[in-house]
Chains A and B, each alone.
Chain A
Amino acid sequence: MSGIFKRPSRGVRRKRSQIRAEVDEELRFHVETLVSELVARGLTPAAARAEALRRFGDYRETEEVCVSADERRELKRERRRFLDEVWSDVRHGARQMRRRASVSLLAIGTLAVGVGATTAIFSAMDHVLLRPLPYDGAERVMTLWETDTRESDPTLEVSAGNFHEWKQRSTVFEAMGLAEPTSFDLSTEGRPEAVPVSAVTEGYLEALGARPIRGRRFTPEDYLPNASPVVLISHGMWQQRFGGASGVVGETLRLDGGDATIVGVMPPSTKYPEPTDLWAPKVLRAREQVDRVSQYMAAVGRLKPGVTAGQAQADLSRVASHLAAEYPSTNATLGVRVVPLRERLLGSIGPTLLTMFGAVTLVLLIACANVAGLMLAAGMERGRELAVRASLGASRGRLLLQLVTESLLLAAIGGLIGIGIAYVAIRGLVLLSPPDLPRFDEIGLDGRVLAFALVLVVLTALLSAIAPALRFSRPDLNATLRGSSRSATAGPDRQRARGVLVAAQVSLALVLLVGAGLLMRSFVALTSNDLGFAVEDRVSLQVFLWDLNPTEEQRARRIVELEETFRATPGVVDAGVVSALPFHPHQIASQTRLAIEGRPVAGELPSVNTALASAGYFTTMEIPLKAGRLFDDRDRADAPPVVLINEALARRFFPGEDPLGRMITLGATSTPRPREIIGIVGDVRPVAHDSDPRPEVFVPFSQVPSGSATFVVHAEDAAAKLPMLRDRLWSVDDRQSIYHSATVEQLVGRTLVERRLHLVVLGAFSLLALVLASVGIYGVVGFMTAQRVNEIGVRMALGAQRPAITRMILASGLRLVLPGILIGLAAALALTRFLASMLYGVAPTDALTFVQVSLLLVLVAVAAAYVPARRVLSGSPIRQVMQ
């Protein structure tokens, strides 16, 4: 009897109608039995039925209660059965994994790398591009720029005078403000240190939507003429100088010799227009309000609700055209450009991140193809196993579930490791990225990114289960069960599936390798450009001398004094000074009009770059003297005015002539006197490896003593000497602050950081792709060779020579990768133009790169085929056949 209590067989689903029928049968049995008993006791059948129903109570209600109780029970059981199945699949999968440890490890590693890299890049994209900007109502914040039809740069800084007019006349903004990047001398224990400051006009912080995390913004009172000085400090300064102390608001800082009260701390994210340590109130002086020429301020405006960027542009363009009419001498060529803050901050980084994300997606796809291939390969014995299961009644859905569970298991383990990889990769990415890339310091792992990783794990599991599922879910039962395990798996169908996977991997890898190759060639082309000056063992110290040395005589004396002090420092080879150092972030370049004596003026005078320099500048930086002489003691303030020109200027303005001895006049120097050209120096690249030398004129400091001076020092192990050099400077004047100091190597390296980041990221991805694709190719060729061991043994027994066999195997490897290479070449041709903006000195369709990468993949295929070929050929042919 207890035999009937066995569990109902798996997969039997009790339908609703069946439940109802059973309840009905059970209750009817009860009533019928009672009726027949009552009849036996002598009641008439009708009376018996009436009595039985009376004793039963509410038949309908009972039926409903029983049916719904049974239905709930059935539902629970189904759910449990499903979980049991999944659990048994998990255990089965785990067993399979242990049995095929090497294949599983390979799959897990592949997925870990894929998920890790993708998660890291997504994290960067998410934090930099997708999250809202850290400003209130940031979508209404517009950055405002001047335009000048004479300039190529479409966004020029703003002059205070023009901004003043815009603010008076425009109607579209609810708040507008200017920020002037400047610096204050912050004194700590007597040592002045120049710290960056944003001097902001009333309305600037409101327009930007920047809100202090402690304390308050500036109030209108802070802008009154006799207001006591106040500042807002950056989060960084709060942490470093005050250790994040909560009582910082109300403390004072010694700034430019006076005390300023800290009224608040800004959040770390407030960095527009550039990272700064302090914010201070700025009132536009009367002189500034009419200065429509000096463009050096950053302007922002907050749109009134409902106003679009386009309307703002139209409004400001209207204002600009009025200004052009009113002030033709200054504003004739000037206009306004409105750029949404978001576009300004993220416009350039967006394509970079999208490129990286595209690249990492390719890596992930290769990884999925790899896992799919591995699972197909591992499915040699699985074919039989699954066929047996199918013949025992497992449904197609059931088998699919099992495959997906197994690949989910692999993906889950891979994903966990991948998150660890992502963590490390993100740290690396942040370290590699240039400090001025927007929001890169905010990148990290968090809930959103982890959720993305989770989705990724599920997606990769499904993707890598597709191929095996297609293959295995409709096993040919008869063939598989009857035939040997080999014939069951080596069908043309299977081969085609794996061929497609390899083609996909090869083509994806080729696209990545071509991209990385192009970037690499760009980088090499760029860095092999001669800069025109020496980089190693040079340091620079930038100072502004005006405040402490108001007269020309004082400045001239101080400059000589400092240069000689540096030169006399132990270990120093040479020292010099220049007003605008190439590659310097705070390069103060000035353009002046050039008139050449004895040459008729046709129209407007040409503009050339003008800098002040000492002779020591050229010798220290090893900028060669090509003709004539450098400055020397003869070129005193009262001596005849002289200049040096560079070769670019000589080529441009004196083609086929000897410029030495010619007289030129520079428009902007304080005394526009004719100056004699006494020498020609070599060209330098002014701001980056890819910037072409421009015509330049050098005027001796001794004759025009500017206060803007960047000292350069050549010394053994210069970087380590920097602190000592700073002390030497203070030994001359301990009130003099140093605005900026760095090694020249740092200055030059800074300009390459972003390119290096592109190269490293794309290079790493393409290397990954190559490794993954190699594994994929090796797996398939190895498998194919193993399939043909018999055939090869027979061929050899029949007299085939080893080289012929080797050629045969290598050829099969080649046949495998060729379609992938062709597809990849076509895809790369279509895709590399998106890289164009990152390339230098190489075309997006550079034939050499395409050919080299293709050859590399062919080589990989041949190597992947060679290993199994060796293995087969090393044994005796007879043994191969016997096995």
Chain B
Amino acid sequence: MKRTRLLRGTVDVLVLKTLAGRELHGYAIAASIAERTEGALGIEDGALYQSLHRMEERGLVESAWGHADTGKRAKFYRLTAAGREQMAAETAGWIRYAEAVFKVLRPA
């Protein structure tokens, strides 16, 4: 459970960061995160969609149907103004957190 909670927060901030400045469908978001983390976090694709829909409910992202490169209908997401604020705040928080952990873990 502890891991999932940590993971969900992680997924949210990663999704927000990934959507910064662009509109992507879910598959593209998953692909982008997997590519940039080199699969290290092992996020399940389902968790990603749950995160997207919850954040849409909270008004952080909005969605609309469009067409993927393959021509198929796909649902595209983008950040709302609230989402951009949230992303900036969360990103800064995560970096501070990561640095603090890193300072402790780095050999003196």
Q: What are the 5 tightest A-B residue pairs by CB atom distance, in nearest-first order?
A: A57-B44, A62-B46, A57-B46, A69-B53, A66-B53
Residues of B within 8 A of A65 (CB): 50, 53-54
Inter-chain contact B57/A69, CB cutoff 8 Å: yes
A4 touches B74 (CB 8 A): no
Instruction: Tell which of A1, A27, A72 touches B49, judged by Cβ atoms closer than 8 Å.
Output: A27
Binding site for A on B (CB under 8 A): 23, 25-27, 30, 44-47, 49-50, 52-54, 56-57, 62, 64-66, 68, 70, 72-76, 78
Do A5 and B78 touch (CB < 8 A)?
yes
A27 to B50, CA, bound (A): 11
Is A56 a contact partner of B45 (Cβ separation < 8 A)?
Answer: yes
Complex Cα–Cα for A73 and B64 (A): 14
From the candidates B46, B49, B66, name the one contacting A4 in the complex (CB within 8 A): B66
Quick check: is A676 within 8 A (CB to CB) of the other chain? no
Out of B46, B50, B57, B73, name the residue touching A29 (CB < 8 Å).
B73
> Which residues of A are found within 8 Å of B64, using beta-carbon distances?
4-5
Known: A4-B76, A25-B73, A29-B74. A58 touches B56 (CB 8 A): no
| C-alpha gap A59/B76 in the complex (Å) | 20
Chain B residue nearest in CB terms to A25: B73
| Chain B hits for A70, CB < 8 A | 53, 56-57
Of the listed residues A57, A58, A72, A76, the one surrounded by the most CB atoms of chain B closer than 10 A to its CB is A57
Give bound CA distance, A131 to B50, whole Å. Answer: 58
- Residue among A55, A69, A73 making CB contact with B45, cutoff 8 Å: A55
Q: Which residues on B sit within 8 Å (CB–CB) of A55? A: 44-45
Q: How far is the CA of A30 from the CA of B64 in the complex (A)?
A: 16
Known: A26-B74, A30-B27. A56 touches B44 (CB 8 A): yes
Using a CB–CB distance below 8 Å, which chain A residues touch chain B? 1-2, 4-5, 22-23, 25-27, 29-30, 32-34, 55-59, 61-62, 65-66, 69-70, 72-73, 76
12 CB < 8 A contacts A-B: A1-B76, A5-B64, A5-B78, A22-B75, A25-B73, A29-B73, A33-B70, A34-B45, A61-B46, A65-B53, A70-B57, A72-B57
- Check B47–A57 contact: CB distance below 8 A: yes
Residues in A neighbouring B68, C-beta threshold 8 A: 29, 33
Looking at the complex, which one of A2, A29, A58 makes contact with B25 (CB distance below 8 Å)? A29
Residues of B within 8 A of A57 (CB): 44-47
In the complex, the answer to whether A26 meets B75 with C-beta atoms within 8 Å is yes
CA of A755 to CA of B76, assembled, Å: 80
Residue of A nearest to B66 (CB): A4
CB neighbours (8 Å) of B44 from chain A are: 55-58
Main secondary structure of the interface of A (DSSP, over half): helix
Tell me, in angstroms, the Cα distance from A226 to B45 when the chains sit together: 98
Extra 14 A-B pairs, beta carbons < 8 Å, given A26-B49, A29-B72, A66-B53: A2-B23, A4-B65, A4-B76, A22-B65, A26-B75, A27-B49, A33-B27, A62-B47, A65-B50, A66-B50, A66-B52, A69-B53, A69-B57, A70-B53
Query: What A residues does B74 contact at CB under 8 A?
Result: 26, 29
Is the beta-carbon distance between A1 and B23 smaller than 8 angstroms?
A: yes
Given A66-B50, A69-B53, A69-B54, are A26 and B45 also a contact pair (CB < 8 Å)? no
Q: Verify A66–B73 contact, CB threshold 8 A.
A: no
Smallest Cβ-Cβ distance to A65: which chain B residue? B50
In the assembled complex, which residues on chain A have CB atoms less than 8 Å from the CB atom of B30? 30
Contacts of A62 in B (CB 8 A): 46-47, 49-50
In the complex, the answer to whether B46 meets A69 with C-beta atoms within 8 Å is no
Contact present for B62 and A69 (CB under 8 Å): no
Nearest CB of chain B from residue A166's CB, rounded to whole Å: 77
Residue of A nearest to B23 (CB): A1
**Neighbouring B residues of A32 by C-beta, 8 Å:** 72
Do B57 and A73 touch (CB < 8 A)?
A: yes
| List of A residues within 8 angstroms of B52 by Cβ | 66
Within the complex, which residue of B45, B53, B57, B73 is in contact with A30, where a contact is CB–CB below 8 Å? Answer: B45
A22 CA / B52 CA spacing, docked (Å): 14
Chain A residues within an 8 Å CB radius of B66: 1, 4
A30 and B26 contacting across the interface, CB-CB below 8 Å: yes
Contacts of A72 in B (CB 8 A): 57
Bound: A56/B48 CA distance, A: 9
In the assembled complex, the CB of A30 is this many whole angstroms from the nearest CB of chain B, namely: 5
Residues of B close to A4: CB separation below 8 A: 64-66, 76
Residues of B within 8 A of A61 (CB): 46
**A737–chain B nearest beta-carbon distance, Å:** 82
A69 and B56 contact, CB distance less than 8 A:
yes
How far apart sit A34 and B26, CA to CA, in the bound complex (Å)?
11
Q: Is the Cβ of B75 less than 8 Å from the Cβ of A58?
A: no
- How far apart sit A33 and B76, CA to CA, in the bound complex (Å)? 15
